[in-house]
Every structure is written in structure tokens, then in C-alpha cells.
Amino acid sequence: MKFDLLPIAGDASFRTFYRLISKKNNKIIVFAKKEKYKNLVAYSAINQFLRFNKILAPKLYEHNLAKGIIVIQDFGDLSFYKELIKKKNKLIIYKKLINLLLKIQKIKPKSKIKNIINKPHNIDKYSNQYLFKESDLFFDWYLPLFLNKKKALNIKKKSKKSLIKLYNRLNFKNSCFVHRDFHVQNLMKVGNKIGVIDSQDALIGHPAYDLVSIIDDVRIKTSIKLKNQIYRYYLKKTSKNYSKNPEKFLEDFNILSVQRSLKIIGIFSRLFKRDKKKYYLRYIPYTWQLLKMRMNSKIFSELKKILDSNISKNIRKKIINE
């Protein structure tokens, strides 16, 4: 059988992707040199779990873990990012994506699911340990780009005391499936359906986390008006108890948005410094805007003061020119 093999643009992981083009159907070859378990075993296990629950995720065709390869279903190149940037009425599309999120959140999460090596894959629960591990990336990778080690460590210690208070304020339990990267570049237009990719980091977590990912997506700038419309649509459509406690849910949403923005700035700085991937630096200034917007209430005053007194506006913009 004749086929062509074409490389596909990579992402922020250690994976490389190739499109296997044939007359019958196209497939994606995923190759992982590092973190094989997460990028191949966990990924295929989560995909299988989603498919079992009627969520469109890539089907696994073949695997060779010794060589670090899996072959999966090809959803094409049309992400909802591409759909959104050419549409004026973006809310219509976002409503469809929120409907999918609500469907995913109705899935009864399991702590263990089968994987391709016939062993259980554990889906951990989010905890403060995870939240700190993620937000620490900001202090460990972003701050050292501009500040000496001693000052960066001092800011981290002060901020961590404030973050402990914030994370302990979260009102709702870690009770639903959380994709952890539920943004428009990971949601694919597959005919009339929506395909979900890059789910290997999934955990059982807070209902607001994936909502934050799609509303405060750093890769696509949206107005505050649109963000609020998407948020209100989610609350209107959900029947969960957090829709009956809107003030508490909004507080949780803001805390998780701040946490995620810190994480993203840290990850993109690490991609630049460690992996020589400069492309992601362009998103950092907008991430700072989101961080500032979500730290608008009194509960963030301590953290905001620490960041504002140590990280100037010039520093926040400087990385883009490094």
C-alpha cells in the first residue's frame, strides 16, 4: 500500500507528530522520546475512557511502546481556534464548546482505567500539592530570567504564603473529570462533531478548572464582555450545586484562573529557557493581563502587592524581546 509521511507542527510536549496519508484513511503517528508513559500510555488510556463515555477522542490503531510510538485517529487540522478567529459571532461557537464541557463533566470519573499495557492507569485527584507544583513554575522559571536567585526565592516564599490562603479558600470539591488543557487549539472540528485531543494530563478536579482554560485562553484574545457571556451561559446550563452558589463559584473561578496564569507563564518560560522554544513567549504579556484582571477582588490584595512591588511593567513586557 502506498502512503506518504508528513511531519506535523509540534506542541509544548516532548512528542513529535507525523501524518500517515493513504487512500484508505489518514492516521497520526505520535513519537515520544521522553515521558513515554504520559505521552503514549496515559494519553491512549484517557482517550479510550472518553470514547467509552461518548466523547470523540482519537482512536488507537497500533502501538510499539519499546520504540515510543502510537498510531491514532487523524482529526485533521481544523481546530476551533481556526474557526473562532474568522467568525464575528464567537459566542455561538463557544456555546457549543461549553455544551461539550458540560457533557464531559457529567461523566462519572474513575480513579483507575485500563491502558494499553493491560495495567490500570491511575487518574489522580487534584490537590493543593498539584496546584503548588504548577504555580511554582512561575517562580522557578520565569523570575530567574530577570531576577537573581536570592530575590526570586524570596518572592516565591512570600507568594507561597498568600497562595496557601487562596487555595484553601476553594469552595467546591474535586469531583469531575478535568482535561487540564481545555482550550480551542485542543478542540478539533471533525465534520459536525468536536474532537478532543491532548488529554494525557487529565485529573479528577474542580469544575471551574476547564472553564477557566477555555474562557481565559491565552492563545486567543477575547473581550471581557464575551468572557462574561460564556461564563453566564455555563452557569445557566449547569444543574450542579455551584450554579446555586454563584458568588462562591466565581471566587473559585478567579483563584484557579490566577493559578493557571502563573502556571502558564512558568511553562512558557521553561519552554524558552530549557527547550529553546521561543514561540510561546508571545503569549506572556496577555497572560499578565488576564492575571491582573482576575486579581481584582480583595482576596488577592496580598499576592497582587507582592507581584506589583517586585515585577515591574517593563519586566512583564521584556521577555518578548529576549
Residues 67 and 151 in one domain: no
Mapped to the 3 state alphabet, what secondary structure does 252-270 carry?
HHHHHHHHHHHHHHHHHHH
Beta strand 193-196 with 120-122 is unpaired
Residues 195 and 273 in one domain: yes
DSSP code of 72?
A: E
**How large is the average pLDDT for residues 9-36?**
80
- Residue 298 is inside which H or E element, if any? none
Instruction: Look at residue 2 in the predicted model and tell me its pLDDT.
Output: 54
The range of the structural domain enclosing residue 13 comes to: 3-73
pLDDT digits over 204-246, tens only?
999 999 999 999 999 999 999 999 999 999 999 987 777 778 9
In CATH, what number is assigned to the domain containing residue 7? 3.30.200.20
Residues 113 and 49 in one domain: no
Are 212 and 180 a contacting pair, CB within 8 Å? no
Residues 202 and 65 in one domain: no
Average pLDDT, the chain: 90
The whole-angstrom separation of Cα 300 and Cα 259 is 11
Residues 155 and 284 in one domain: yes
Q: Which of 73, 103, 124 is the last residue of a domain?
A: 73
Instruction: Look at residue 175 in the predicted model and tell me its pLDDT.
Output: 87
Instruction: Look at residue 91 in the predicted model and tell me its pLDDT.
Output: 97
Residues 184 and 65 in one domain: no
Q: Which of 73, 101, 117 is the last residue of a domain?
A: 73
**Please, which pLDDT band fits residue 192 given cuts at 50, 70 and 90?**
very high
Residues 108 and 173 in one domain: yes
Instruction: Look at residue 50 in the predicted model and tell me its pLDDT.
Output: 95
Specify which residues 4 forms β-bridges with. Answer: 21
Query: Which range, of 30-34, 60-64, 140-144, 188-192, averages the lowest pLDDT?
Result: 30-34
More confident residue, 25 or 278: 278
User: What are the cell numbers at 96?
Assistant: 457549543
Percent of the chain with pLDDT strictly greater than 70: 95
User: What are the cell numbers at 125?
Assistant: 485527584
Residues 288 and 306 in one domain: yes
pLDDT digits over 61-101, tens only?
999 888 889 999 999 999 999 999 988 899 999 999 999 99
Beta strand 69-73 with 60-64 is antiparallel
The total number of structural domains in the chain stands at 2
The whole-angstrom separation of Cα 175 and Cα 252 is 14
Residues 90 and 229 in one domain: yes
User: What are the cell numbers at 80?
Assistant: 476551533
pTM for the whole structure: 0.92
Residues 267 and 290 in one domain: yes
Residues 91 and 196 in one domain: yes
More confident residue, 39 or 185: 185
**How large is the average pLDDT for residues 161-177?**
94
Does the pLDDT of residue 319 top 70, yes or no?
Answer: no
Q: Which of 73, 96, 125 is the last residue of a domain?
A: 73
In CATH, what number is assigned to the domain containing residue 186? 3.90.1200.10
Residues 68 and 85 in one domain: no
Distance of CA 257 to the CA centre of its chain: 11
